Amino acid sequence: MTGSCPEAAAPAEFLVMAKPAGPRCNLACVYCYYLGKAGLFPPGTLARMSDELLESYLRQRLETSPGPVTAFEWHGGEPTLLGLDFFRRIVALQKTHCPPGRAVHNGMQTNGTLLDPEWARFLADEQFSVGLSLDGPAEAHDPFRTTRDGRATHVEVVRAFHLLRRYGVHCDVLCVLHAGNVGQPLPVYRWFRELGVTHLQFLPLAGSAAAGDPDAVGRFLNAVFDEWIRHDLGRIAIQTFDEAFRTACGLPHALCTFRATCGDVLVLEHDGGVYACDHFVDPDHRLGRLGETPLAQLAAAPDQARFGRRKRDGLPSRCRACDVLAYCNGGCPKDRTAQEPWESQGSMCSARPIAASSTMPGPCWPASPSTGQRDGPCGSSGNRYDPEGWALEREAGPRYYFLSCVNKPRATRHPVGSRRSR
């Protein structure tokens, strides 16, 4: 990709995953797809975004954001390695450059091991949302998520979860589905429920020796769905199921993985390099450098638009003919098999989560308390999904099945984990 492009308006909405500490991390997770990115940068240098670049990014992000709320996403590597003062400076600069009437929202993805009460108090005071990586009970988590010297991290991450909860910080727990937990769907899910998790993401691992069998991923999601729909609808939000329901309700997907096209979530590295996607941080997908090219031009680059369209345009005929294509749209290109990821089926296709109303009789849907109808998760209006608005008839045994395609995964070109696993 080229770093230059003609003057153009940025997409109406786009996000930036900023990595102020680059790929630097205090852990060495077995399945991490990002640690190897250190090879893109000069050896022996400490990955840390400069104050000048940080301020330029914050200012341009606020200038190019069209809505009433500008979202900032802080990723890594491990962003907390930069210390609390670095993030205090972020907030101060945001307040300096924020236009009147505009609100700012910050999200941080972390492994949680460096969080302490001072961090938690700051995150609460500044209303950060936190994504916390936790793969279930200790026996599922610790073999895969260790420090660089091999120490287990489960105790520290659970402590971080309780700390965030105590200070009232919104916390999404991200659980990578791998060989160590995919065979235990109900014990893993019930452990999260007992812990007090209210927002949960299951992120299937693909293309790694640590990955579980795709069919096992499908069975995991089916088993968890049956447990969740009976006991936890409206109490625990699970991103995978929410995305499936959005399609059933005629709503657009919120997650780029499931949308027909992508390309509106850029990556900003600590040195100013801007890339097409978190899973395509490589020289071929480098759009340019912030400081040499304005953020709006980088987001609107023709190469980036082509990148986003290739997800849809490169779908194989098998996917195009699939009855449930709208639920996944082929998944993330990072998971597609063979040598050319744009023109092959996803390695996780046999586990793709699909909520299919056609597989069940109408009475098996939960009943709307206002209408008594059971014609789908959105009721007769068909225009919104409100988990708290449904009265579940447990004896009816609702069954939303997760269908599967039949292809088997082959070797994949890219070392992949999950979009936000750390």
Residue 347 has a pLDDT of 54
Tell how many helices (H) and how many strands (E) occur in the chain.
Answer: 12, 10
Query: What contacts 24+ positions apart, CB below 8 Å, involve 121-130?
Result: 121/167, 122/84, 122/87, 122/88, 123/164, 123/167, 123/169, 124/167, 124/168, 124/169, 126/91, 128/169, 128/170, 129/105, 129/169, 129/170, 129/171, 129/172, 130/164, 130/169, 130/170, 130/171, 130/172
Are 38 and 76 in contact by the 8 Å Cβ rule? The answer is no
- pLDDT tops 90 at residue 268: yes
Residue 209 has a pLDDT of 87
Mean pLDDT on 397-404: 38
Q: How confident is the model at residue 261 (pLDDT cuts 50, 70, 90)?
A: very high
Q: How confident is the model at residue 67 (pLDDT cuts 50, 70, 90)?
A: confident
Percent of the chain residues topping a pLDDT of 70: 77
Mean pLDDT on 395-410: 34
Residue 10 has a pLDDT of 52
Question: How many angstroms separate the CA atoms of 417 and 397, rounded?
Answer: 34
Residue 348 has a pLDDT of 57
Residue 206 has a pLDDT of 87
User: Where is average pLDDT lowest: 94-108, 140-154, 201-215?
Assistant: 201-215
Are 143 and 180 in contact by the 8 Å Cβ rule? The answer is yes
- pLDDT tops 80 at residue 97: yes
Burial class (CB in 10 A: 0-12, 13-18, 19+), 99: exposed
Give per-residue pLDDT as tens, 161-185.
999 999 999 999 999 999 999 999 9
Residue 345 has a pLDDT of 52
Mean pLDDT on 148-167: 98
User: Where is average pLDDT lowest: 64-68, 71-75, 339-343?
Assistant: 339-343
Residue 320 has a pLDDT of 87
Give per-residue pLDDT as tens, 21-46.
999 999 999 999 999 999 999 998 89
DSSP 213: P
- Which tokens hold the place of 297? 């031009």
Token pair 């994504």: residue: 131
Nearest to 380 by CA among 401, 358, 399, 362: 362
* List of E strands, 122-257: 129-133, 170-177, 199-204, 237-238
Give per-residue pLDDT as tens, 272-288.
999 999 999 999 999 99
- Determine whether 278 is an active site residue: yes
- Tell me the whole-structure pTM to 2 decimals: 0.83
Q: Which of 172, 242, 278, 303 is catalytic?
A: 278
